[in-house]
């Protein structure tokens, strides 16, 4: 049972290590990469099942008791995030077979890909703040390499911005950790949750909360700390963009939601209102930024920012319904956004470019792809009955119930502008005259399968979430309940110590 908690970390580690042993053999790395991702997906699925059945679980690494050793803990939120990470890990690994060139694979693309997944799962599963910092670093190191691997000029430029901003964020995170440890003498999250409310310096707790807000804010690309994202996400190979877009900012959002539901609850009127304001600005700037872009992946990158706004809007409102909306939104967004990036890669293969003005007429030459794009794009914009509609609906109902009309209006307006952006891509890429492709590459059957199977799978999930909202909503509701009332989580971690 407890093995389930560690499997999402040691499976990618094993995969990456075996990949290192098969260095230079492209075929072996591809097979191992895909098998490892499949294994991770299975492990993540059983973890979610276990947490759903038995409530939050905790594992004390090395058998050191809770506030002293490193704890791994999974409540429903962690388990959902691990499942999403594994799902994206698997689909994008499959997609990588067709899109990542042999040279990059030879230099360890799949190894770093799995180190990245290990870091991401580690952040989701850890119950200790310093350990979370370590997992962040594991994830960032791997992402730095993936970002720069291949060494194209544009890539390196993007990588420099990405690395610099993320290092600043790590430094701020570490500063916050230092102050927090000096103040409370513990970094175990469950223990902190019991210690912080009795702190003698509530204003210091709020100060630390702001440091964490900045650190995780940079990582999740919220206003006004988002500028590294659109400057870098369009530079690496599309599979890398897709996995980054799907997972990395959401790791920041996860951390924000974790610390601002479990730890920093002393001054909700101040901290969470600030988060709500940031959410509004994030939505608006992201979507306006997207409207000004003319490159497929840059438009999508700006939309990540605007969507992150929706996710932390639920956190800012901080009611059970709003948190349900946030969790639902994250589930919907990761699937849809990754899929849109995957579609952009296929459009690039068929049309020879990411620039909107150089693409066109794909609805004639690739009607299937157009349909798949439409599913994800309309879902992103929130057209019923797709997943994005329900996600936005829950959040907007929550904001009306909370009498936060301004944020509700912002959310509605932004979703209209999202539709505008998606229509722009649709009109430029799929309608119009077929553009003359620079090098229309004929696709072999297997390559075509590796390209389309992930996209179809993710589109089906989007539709399923949209049509079968009930079970997903129940899942999100129970997750939100656990976030609002973390007693079960704390009990799982601290056990009898409390």
- Nearer to other proteins by C-beta: 37 or 265? 37
Q: How far is the CB of 66 from other proteins (least distance, A)?
A: 12
φ and ψ of 70, to 5 deg: -90, 130
Instruction: Give me the residues that bind other proteins (CB under 8 A), please.
Output: 2-3, 6, 10, 13-14, 16-21, 23, 59-63, 108
Return d(Cα 411, Cα 395) in angstroms, integer.
Answer: 9
Nearer to other proteins, 17 or 291 (CB): 17
Nearer to other proteins, 63 or 496 (CB): 63
Helix, strand, or coil here: 101? coil
- Residue 188 · residue 69 · CB < 8 Å: no
Please say which residue, 23 or 203, places its beta carbon nearer to other proteins.
23
365: its two tokens: 């030459």
Distance CA 454, CA 304 (A): 20
Residue with tokens 């964490």: 212
Nearer to other proteins, 72 or 435 (CB): 72
Shortest CB 125 distance to other proteins, Å? 12
Nearer to other proteins, 32 or 475 (CB): 32
- H or E stretch at 154: helix 153-184
If 0-12 CB within 10 Å is exposed, 13-18 middle and 19+ buried, where does residue 188 land? buried
Least Å distance, CB 497 to other proteins, is 16
* In the complex, minimum distance from the CB of residue 181 to other proteins, in angstroms, rounded to a whole number: 22
Tell me how far, at minimum, the Cβ of 203 lies from other proteins, in Å: 38
Of the pair 22, 437, the CB lying nearest other proteins is at: 22
Task: List, in sequence order, every residue forming a beta bridge with 58; answer none if it has no partner.
Answer: 73
Q: Could you give the CA distance from residue 420 to residue 394 in angstroms, rounded to a whole number?
A: 22
Closest approach of Cβ 111 to other proteins, in Å? 8
The alpha carbon torsion through 351, 353, 358, 363 (nearest 10 deg) reads 30
Burial class (CB in 10 A: 0-12, 13-18, 19+), 373: buried
As measured in angstroms, the least distance from the Cβ of 495 to other proteins is 13
* Burial status of residue 24 (CB atoms within 10 A of its CB: 0-12, 13-18, 19 or more): exposed
Question: Residue 201 phi/psi, 5° resolution?
Answer: -120, 75
Q: Which residues make Cβ contacts (< 8 Å) with residue 4, sequence separation at least 6?
A: 43, 46, 47, 50, 57
Q: Which is nearer to other proteins, 66 or 132 (CB)?
A: 66
Residues 6+ apart with CB under 8 A from 221: 228, 229, 249, 252, 282, 304, 305, 308
Least Å distance, CB 476 to other proteins, is: 30
CB of 72 to other proteins, least distance (A): 8
Q: How far is the CB of 189 from other proteins (least distance, A)?
A: 18
DSSP symbol at 384 = T
Closest approach of other proteins to the CB of residue 118, in Å: 11
Of 6 and 497, nearer to other proteins (C-beta) is 6
Q: Which is nearer to other proteins, 14 or 423 (CB)?
A: 14
Give the span between the Cα atoms of 413 and 66, in whole angstroms: 46
State both tokens at 105. 């694979």
Q: CA separation (Å) from 20 to 9, 101, 107, 295?
A: 17, 18, 10, 36
Of residues 118 and 257, the one with the C-beta less far from other proteins: 118
Q: Could you tell me where the beta strands, DSSP code E, fall in 70-180? A: 71-74
The span from the CA of 403 to the CA of 317, in Å, is 10
CB 66 within 8 A of CB 60: yes
- Nearest approach in angstroms of CB 63 to other proteins is 4
Q: Read off the DSSP letter of residue 495.
A: G
Of the pair 17, 443, the CB lying nearest other proteins is at 17
d(CA 340, CA 322): 26
The least CB distance from residue 3 to other proteins, in Å, is 6
Task: Count CA atoms closer than 13 A to 146's CA, side-chain side.
Answer: 28
Please, which residue, 134 or 449, has the CB nearer to other proteins? 134
């Amino acid at each position: 049972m407890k093995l389930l908690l560690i499997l999402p970390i040691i499976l990618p580690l094993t995969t990456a290590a075996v990949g290192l042993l098969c260095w230079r053999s492209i075929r072996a790395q591809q097979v191992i990469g895909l098998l490892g991702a499949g294994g991770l997906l299975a492990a993540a699925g059983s973890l979610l099942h276990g947490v759903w059945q038995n409530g939050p679980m905790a594992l004390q690494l090395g058998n050191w008791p809770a506030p002293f050793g490193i704890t791994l803990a999974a409540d429903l939120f962690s388990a959902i995030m691990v499942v999403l990470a594994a799902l994206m890990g698997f689909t994008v690994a499959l997609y990588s077979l067709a899109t990542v060139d042999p040279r990059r694979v030879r230099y360890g693309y799949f190894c770093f890909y799995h180190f990245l997944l290990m870091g991401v799962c580690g952040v989701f599963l850890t119950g200790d703040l310093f350990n979370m910092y370590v997992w962040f670093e594991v994830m960032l190191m791997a992402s730095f390499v993936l970002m720069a691997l291949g060494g194209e000029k544009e890539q390196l430029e993007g990588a420099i911005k990405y690395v610099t901003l993320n290092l600043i964020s790590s430094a701020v995170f570490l500063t916050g950790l230092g102050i927090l440890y000096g103040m409370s003498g513990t970094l175990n999250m469950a223990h902190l949750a019991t210690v912080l409310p009795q702190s003698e310096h509530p204003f210091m707790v709020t100060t630390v909360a702001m440091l964490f807000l900045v650190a995780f804010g940079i990582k999740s690309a919220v206003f006004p700390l988002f500028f590294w994202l659109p400057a870098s996400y369009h530079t690496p190979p599309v599979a890398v963009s897709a996995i980054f877009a799907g997972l990395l900012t959401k790791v920041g959002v996860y951390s924000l939601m974790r610390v601002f539901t479990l730890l920093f609850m002393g001054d909700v009127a101040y901290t969470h209102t600030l988060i709500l304001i940031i959410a509004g600005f994030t939505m608006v700037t992201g979507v306006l930024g997207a409207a000004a872009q003319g490159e497929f992946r840059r438009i999508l990158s700006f939309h990540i920012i605007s969507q992150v706004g929706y996710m932390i809007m639920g956190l800012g409102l901080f009611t059970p319904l709003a948190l349900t909306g946030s969790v639902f939104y994250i589930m919907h967004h990761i699937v849809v956004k990754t899929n849109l990036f995957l579609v952009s890669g296929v459009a690039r293969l068929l049309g020879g470019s990411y620039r909107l003005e150089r693409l066109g007429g794909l609805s004639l030459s690739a009607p299937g792809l157009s349909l798949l794009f439409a599913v994800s794009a309309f879902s992103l914009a929130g057209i019923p009955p797709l997943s994005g509609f329900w996600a936005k609906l829950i959040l907007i109902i929550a904001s009306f119930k909370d009498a936060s009309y301004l944020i509700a209006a912002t959310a509605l307006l932004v979703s209209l502008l999202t539709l505008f952006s998606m229509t722009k891509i649709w009109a430029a890429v799929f309608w119009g005259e077929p553009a003359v492709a620079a090098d229309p590459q004929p696709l072999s059957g297997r390559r075509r399968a590796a390209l389309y199977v992930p996209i179809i799978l993710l589109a089906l999930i989007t539709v399923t979430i949209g049509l079968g909202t009930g079970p997903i909503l129940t899942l999100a509701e129970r997750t939100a309940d656990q976030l609002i009332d973390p007693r079960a989580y704390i009990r799982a971690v601290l056990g009898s110590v409390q």
